[in-house]
Structure 1
Amino acid sequence: MLSAAQVQDVAAELLEAEATRQQTGLLSVRYPDISLDDAYAIQGAQLATKLAAGRRILGWKIGLTSKVMQNALGIDTPDSGVLYDDMLFPDGGQVPRGRFIEPRVEAEIAFVMKAPIDGNVSREDVIAATDYVSPALEILDTRILRADPETGMRRRIFDTVADNAANAGVVLGAQRHDPGDVDLRWVGAIVEQDGEVTATGLGAAVLNDPVMGLVWLARRMASYGHRIEPGQIVLTGSFIGPIECPPGTAIRADFGPFGAVSTRFA
């Protein structure tokens, strides 16, 4: 368990890493007894600092929603992070060179809300509160090293959660759909990197139903005193593995009748 002072110190360290594009070491190595509550407290301290500096909450992301990723990390629960208003990139646009440290991209289904949800909500509550769903790309980055250079130990969920669930950006596709009209489990994407198919996946990989991601998120957020607000974007989790995006990379995700979304890294 970390002290309040340690939580604030680590939060400041991660904000500095983001600003300078210089990664810091694994928290799980430095603090072997770190807990998931500690990690969310560190994330929350960064949120408080950013809001005080004028940033706004654009929405939320859900990660580690597939069984493959959960098993790889030895966990049985997703994680979540915050989307800020400076994280939204235009569909078909360009991500400036140097904006991120080690950017990667995932294909996801985004929900845009028209009513608040919090607490013990149902699947039906989520659908009723959703304005529309769209194809999306999530841009990942890591302010914490992916592996410890001395031991080779890889990041654990505590590192990822403290690092805002590796969240860095979002690209929304232009197409909008009523979630009640689409079986999101069967919404899939063919993802191309520089014109070559790199990954494919189906929405069913996200907790067997992307809507259930919001059910989980609303319940988790309520335990930390937050809720999902109208107008906010929620990324429900990836159904492909992350794709590395060095400078010059072009990404396009073709969701078929559901739409398409693309971005390029300068």
Structure 2
Amino acid sequence: MSDGGATQGGSLPDQVIAQLAGELAEADREHGVIPRITARFPEATIEDSYRIQGVWRDAQLAAGRRLVGRKIGLTSKAMQQATGITEPDYGVMFDDTVYRSGAVIDSAAFSNVRIEVELAFVLARPLEGPDCTLDDALAAIDYAVPALEVLNSHIELEGRTIVDTISDNAAYGAMVLGEVHKRPDEIDLRWVPGVLSRNGEIEETGVAAGVLGHPATGVAWLANKFHQHGDRLEAGEIILAGSFTRPMWVAAGDQVRADYGPMGVIECRFS
């Protein structure tokens, strides 16, 4: 298994990296929250955060989980303003975190559970930098599918930085996939709408162009980012491209509905 973009080096010693990855794994098992990494280790860098994520990821793979794709986050102004973080990040997605529309999801399995409206892309062929463009990404995509991301934050939210978020697998918890698939040449993906409702009341709206001007731009960004570390995106991977609404808090008993216009509707319920 390749590094998946994890950067070597950084400020923190290896034993501290391993300790923090272990804390996050325990928080995931116990559905708990740990103190901010940057409050305890203010010298921690973005390189350190990807090392922490990488150690956590490798332990999950060793335990038998299967990687199915990558999550890109903080790609829209709405999300950057909601978090106070101004650059994209990425994490990994495992097979046991994928749900279909209509699913009942156990809210107790997550911490600080919120929902975001996104598009996901499934790659037909590998995609590699260093000069990957939006056109290259669109040519490599098999199809787009609407998706809800379930955020799962194991680090206290108050005062967190991008270092904290990346360490925590970019706050990824799960995704709920819709049923409508569209090739990039079948629809102008920039204008796919998202109307997000909780218990019948509209809470958030947006359009996919809010993600870097085009939702597939993040796929090209990630391919170029991976190339810096000798890696590439593989055929069949699901790329969750980033939210074009602000996150919406959910709790047990909530019914969630997201209307994507020509790309259909996703519904799920939290128990």
Q: What TM bracket, shorter-length normalisation?
A: over 0.9
**Structure 1 residue aligned with 2:100:** 90
C-alpha RMSD of matched pairs (Å): 1.4
Q: Tell me the TM-score normalized by structure 1.
A: 0.94
Counterpart CA distance in 1 for 2:146 and 2:58 is 30
Deviates more, 1:89-98 or 1:45-54: 89-98
Q: Is the 8 A contact 1:102 1:246 kept in 2?
A: no
Instruction: Tell me if 1:130 matches 2:135.
Output: no
TM-score, normalised on structure 2? 0.92
SS of equivalent residue, structure 1 residue 11: helix
Query: Is 1:59–2:69 an aligned residue pair?
Result: yes
> What is the CA distance between 1:263 and its match in structure 2?
1.1
How many residue pairs get aligned? The number is: 260
Separation of aligned partners in 1, 2:207 and 2:140: 23
User: What is the identity, as a one-letter code, of the residue corresponding to 2:263?
Assistant: F
Tell me the amino acid that sits aligned with residue 7 of structure 1.
I
SS where residue 146 of structure 1 aligns?
Answer: coil
1:28-59 per-residue CA deviation (whole Å, 9 max, x = no partner) reads 10011110010011111111111111111110
Is contact 1:188-1:200 (8 Å) kept? Answer: yes
* Partner residue in 2 for 1:150: none
- The code of the aligned residue for 1:213 comes to G
Q: Deviations over 1:133-176 (max 9, x none)?
A: 011100001111112xxxxxx11111000000000001110000
1:49 matched to 2:59? The reply is yes
- For 2:221, the equivalent position in structure 1 comes to 216
Are 1:112 and 2:122 counterparts?
Answer: yes
**Paired letter, 1:123:** L
Pair 1:195–1:143, CA change in 2 (3 A) = same
Q: Which residues of structure 1 form unaligned runs of 5+? A: 148-153
SS at match of 1:22: coil
User: Partner letter of residue 22 of structure 2?
Assistant: A
> Within 5 A, what are the aligned runs for 1:156-171?
156-171=161-176
Q: Aligned in 2, Cα 1:68/1:233: closer, same or farther, shift over 3 Å?
A: same
How is 1:5-20 mapped onto 2 (pairs within 5 angstroms)? Answer: 5-20=15-30
Q: Identity of paired residues, percent?
A: 41
Shift of 1:229: 1.3
Cα–Cα, structure 1 residues 245 and 71, in superposed 2: closer, same or farther, change >3 Å?
A: closer
Q: Report the AA paired with residue 31 of structure 1.
A: F
Cα separation, 1, equivalents of 2:191 and 2:181: 16
Aligned to 1:140: 151
Aligned-partner Cα distance in 2 for 1:192–1:71: 21
- Closer, same or farther in 2 for the Cα pair 1:71/1:246, shift >3 Å? closer
Give CA deviations for 1:194-233 in whole Å, capped at 9, x if unaligned.
1111110011110111111101111112223432211111
**2:106 partner amino acid:** P
Partner residue of 2:249? 244
Cα shift at 1:73? 5.4
* Rounded Cα–Cα distance in structure 2 between residues aligned with 1:69 and 1:21: 24
Q: What one-letter code is carried by the residue in structure 2 that aligns with 1:227?
A: R
Residue 39 of structure 2: aligned partner: 29
